[in-house]
């Protein structure tokens, strides 16, 4: 489980890109963290960088990404750029001696991810994939519950994440690492891997493709050691859905707003003997509530602890095993039409 000990010194952050996730997630998360200071913001549009630096109190604003890497006061960088730009900028950041927090998916495939992980290791810097949901207090509590046998023996992890996107969205371009699996299905795969505590040994998948070739809708079944089965569905053409479910031999838990939690996250716990008439008999599910701490701030603090110790600890994700699982799913996916 993640440590609650504060890191010994602040991490001075630089952000490569004024993406939506920068404004919605990382910049506020750095400000809300115990360990981080936002030192520099960069954008290809210098005016945007200056405006955002003023908004978030960053000391420096740059009109190109390289300038952040050349800034000697930056300890670590966050990379929220489109998927095809992750590899070159992670490699450049490592070459500059900067620790790296990179948006998901880490790379376009496992081969790229392995190169990135190896290069960062050779340069003595940490690389972490930015799965912020892993750092929620709710995630930590549910992981502890599963591992202590609170649901009996875990048998099934199910995740759904979908929302419709515009026909011109860049996430439909295969050259840019598009597709529902890389963008939203990756959360479900990450969920299955975390709670199963292992990597999949077999996968089976189906997808409905966009004319560009990327998947618009995909479902995947994952088999894990110990008899745990993962079920993942994701889509760019379905209404908004964002939840996961943990099913054990003595109960289950449904987790709404799984990856984008409200101020007070909740979950529903069902007993194994609830049955179809449980609500009628007054034995309905138990409502659970959790600490609503900023998951981005928690991720920033976890990253700082990792920098201090020199290694990533659970629930951090280095991204390589995740990319291997995604590659297996995509390569096995049966194409369906209609």
Active site residue 104: yes
Asked whether 156 and 229 are in contact (CB, 8 A), the reply is: yes
Give the whole-angstrom CA distance, residue 59 versus residue 63. 14
Q: Which CATH superfamily is domain 137-292 in?
A: Dihydrodipicolinate Reductase; domain 2 (3.30.360.10)
Terminal alpha carbon distance of the chain: 45
Q: Which class is domain 11-133+297-315?
A: alpha beta
**Is this model's pTM higher than 0.85 or not?**
yes
The one catalytic residue in 104, 134, 208, 298 is 104
Question: What rounded mean pLDDT belongs to the chain?
Answer: 93
Asked whether 184 and 163 are in contact (CB, 8 A), the reply is: yes
Q: Is the pLDDT of residue 175 over 70?
A: yes
Q: Is the pLDDT of residue 3 over 70?
A: no
Give the whole-angstrom CA distance, residue 46 versus residue 298. 30
% of the chain with per-residue pLDDT over 70: 94
Per-residue DSSP letters for 63-77? SSHHHHHH-TT--EE
Give the whole-angstrom CA distance, residue 241 versus residue 233. 10
Q: Is the pLDDT of residue 277 over 80?
A: no
Asked whether 32 and 14 are in contact (CB, 8 A), the reply is: no
More confident residue, 295 or 1: 295
- Hey, do 11-133+297-315 and 137-292 end up sharing a CATH topology, with the first three levels equal? no
Per-residue pLDDT at 338 = 61
DSSP symbol at 44: S
Residue pLDDT, tens place only, 227-266:
999 999 999 999 999 999 999 999 999 999 999 999 999 9
Per-residue pLDDT at 283 = 60
| Count of C-beta atoms within a 10 Å radius of residue 267 | 24
Domain boundary assignment for the chain: 11-133+297-315, 137-292
Residues 6+ apart with CB under 8 A from 189: 159, 181, 220, 222, 230, 232, 322, 325, 326, 329
Residue pLDDT, tens place only, 301-317:
999 999 999 999 889 99
% of the chain with per-residue pLDDT over 90: 91
Per-residue pLDDT at 194 = 98
Per-residue pLDDT at 4 = 52
E-state strands within the chain: 11-16, 36-42, 60-62, 76-79, 99-102, 127-129, 154-162, 202-209, 215-223, 229-235, 241-248, 251-256, 266-271, 286-289, 333-335
Structure token digits, residue 296: 């981005």
């Amino acid at each position: 489980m993640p440590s609650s000990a504060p890191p010994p010194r602040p991490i001075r952050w630089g952000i490569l890109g004024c993406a939506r996730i920068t404004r919605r997630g990382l910049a506020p998360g750095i400000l809300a963290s115990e360990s981080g200071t936002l030192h520099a913001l960069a954008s290809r549009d210098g005016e945007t960088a200056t405006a955002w630096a003023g908004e978030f109190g960053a000391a420096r604003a740059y009109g190109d990404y390289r300038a952040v890497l050349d800034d000697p006061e930056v300890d670590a960088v966050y990379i929220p750029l489109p998927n095809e730009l992750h590899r070159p900028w992670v490699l450049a950041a490592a070459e500059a001696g900067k620790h790296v927090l990179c948006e998901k998916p880490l790379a376009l495939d496992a081969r790229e991810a392995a190169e990135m992980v190896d290069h960062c290791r050779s340069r003595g810097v940490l690389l972490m994939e930015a799965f912020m949901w892993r750092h929620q207090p709710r995630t930590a509590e549910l992981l502890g519950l599963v591992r202590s046998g609170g649901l009996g023996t875990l048998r099934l992890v199910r995740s759904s994440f979908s929302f419709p996107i515009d026909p011109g969205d860049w996430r439909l371009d295969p050259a840019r690492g598009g597709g529902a699996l890389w963008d939203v299905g990756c959360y479900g795969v990450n969920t299955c891997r975390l709670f199963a505590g292992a990597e999949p040994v077999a996968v089976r998948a189906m997808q409905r493709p966009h004319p560009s070739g990327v998947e618009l809708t995909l479902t995947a079944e994952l088999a894990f050691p110990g008899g745990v089965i993962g079920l993942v569905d994701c889509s760019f053409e379905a209404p908004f859905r964002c939840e996961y479910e943990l099913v054990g031999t003595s109960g289950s838990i449904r987790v709404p707003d799984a990856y984008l939690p409200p101020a007070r996250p909740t979950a529903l716990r069902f007993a194994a003997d609830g049955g179809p008439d449980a609500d009628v008999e007054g034995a309905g599910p138990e409502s659970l509530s959790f600490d609503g701490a900023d998951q981005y701030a928690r991720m920033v603090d976890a990253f700082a602890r990792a920098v201090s110790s020199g290694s990533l600890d659970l629930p951090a994700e280095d991204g390589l095993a995740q990319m291997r699982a995604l590659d297996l799913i995509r390569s096995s996916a049966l194409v369906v039409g209609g």
